[in-house]
Amino acid sequence: MRTHTTSVTFRYLSRGIPIPSKYFSIDRVFRNEAIDQTHLFEFHQIEGFVAADNLTLRNMMGIFKEFYEKLGIKKLKFKPVYNPYTEPSMEIYGYYEKLGKLVEMGNSGMFRPETLLPLGIKCPVIAWGLALERLAMLIHGFSDIRQVFGPQADIQMLREARR
């Protein structure tokens, strides 16, 4: 059981990667969270990273803006945050009409050079972990994340909500 999927990213980075590279994975993670309408203790994380010369935080923000816009989420907010492996780091929030507030969608940052140099990687690497169930909640208009994942989820309703 793990709290994030960064270990998957570093496993790929440690094998040696061509530059430029893009990698993505989806896996289950577990957190010590109080369960409420936007938090679960178990969920799926969309992990990704891009390694290329001349990448910046602005590139990463552009990726998120385009990604979420294609899914119909147009109001985003980026908030600086501390992460042990990345600097700068930021949380991504999407505005959720049904709740009338911003909901955290994920976390991201640029890997610190001291984490990459031992692996022989000398270019910038941007990385993120996004919450799959929160994304589904926003896209399909559910008011509670437990409607999307877990024992309270109605499988038939989820099948009908597909686009």
Average pLDDT for consecutive 10-residue bins of the chain (163 residues)?
73 89 87 74 85 94 92 90 92 84 89 93 93 82 79 77 63
C-alpha to C-alpha distance for 109 and 132, rounded to whole angstroms: 18
Q: What pLDDT, on the 0 to 100 scale, is given for residue 155? A: 79
Domains of the chain, by residue range, sit at: 6-161
- The pTM (predicted TM-score) of the whole model is 0.83
Domain 6-161 has CATH 3.40.250.10: no
pLDDT the model gives residue 56:
94
3-state secondary structure 36-101: ECCECCEEEEEEEEEECCCCCHHHHHHHHHHHHHHCCCCCEEEEECCCCCEEEEEEEEEEECCCCE
* Cβ proximity of 49 and 123 under 8 Å: no
pLDDT at 41: 67
The closest alpha carbon to 9, from 145, 1, 57, 17, belongs to 17
